[in-house]
Amino acid sequence: LYSSSSSGEMEPKKEEALRFIQARGFSREVGEGIIKALLAPSSGISLSSLVVTVKALAGAYEREETSPLLTMAKAVEQELARTSGKNLIKFVVYTPREGESFECEGFEGMSLKEVVDYGEEKNNQVLGEYIECACSGIMACSTCHVYVDPAWWKKVGSPSKEELDMIDLAYEPTEYSRLGCQIRLSKDLEGLKISIPDGANNLFDHIPFE
């Protein structure tokens, strides 16, 4: 569905929109996918209004929040993952209720937060009920705190110093604690097992936004 431009040459309006998208950290390939989707006959968007539309879609993205542009980019990335041969990685999530678990899946390279936000399986949305990611995945909270099964710890890897700072604020951290926004799926993590803590500390609840 989404493919790179074969000629390497695009009309000026497309190039301007593409530069705007790339300036926000997305690859050219993803940018071309977004533009192709926006200019599809069913969208009703004309080439003359493309740049204005892309800028409007960016919206809150400038403030590290979810925006339509980010959502489109993630959809394009998933489609590219399918067509480029990236593997779907399955992992098991154990809930705080004893004996209760469910299976999730996401493409290689996705974080657990991205699995929640952009995964298509129903259980991925169930995972979202347990890991909030109140900071939108910028490692400024601990609401996506999970426990990694000890047998998988070496493959998942240890947290960075910055991540440890957030884990220290998490609900009942252990030596096997990680933040879901910092765990990225790979072939080595096929079958990964994680557990959800029986609570969460959300410092954002105590910040007076005015």
Name, in order, each residue with C-beta under 8 angstroms of 54's C-beta and a sequence gap of 6 or more. Answer: 17, 20, 21, 34, 35, 38, 69
Task: Look up tokens 């790339």; give the residue.
Answer: 22
What pLDDT is attached to residue 71? Answer: 84
Looking at residue 77, its pLDDT comes to: 85
Judge whether 18 and 28 are in contact, CB under 8 Å.
yes
**What residues of the chain score a pLDDT lower than 70?**
1-10, 60-66, 203-210
What pLDDT is recorded for position 60?
A: 53
Rounded Cα–Cα distance for residues 123 and 19 (Å): 36
Q: How far is CA 77 from CA 31, 54, 85, 86, 156, in A?
A: 10, 17, 12, 11, 23
Q: How many CB atoms lie within 10 A of CB 17?
A: 25
Q: Where are the beta strands (DSSP E) in 35-153?
A: 88-94, 101-107, 145-148
CA atoms within 13 A on the CB side of 172: 9
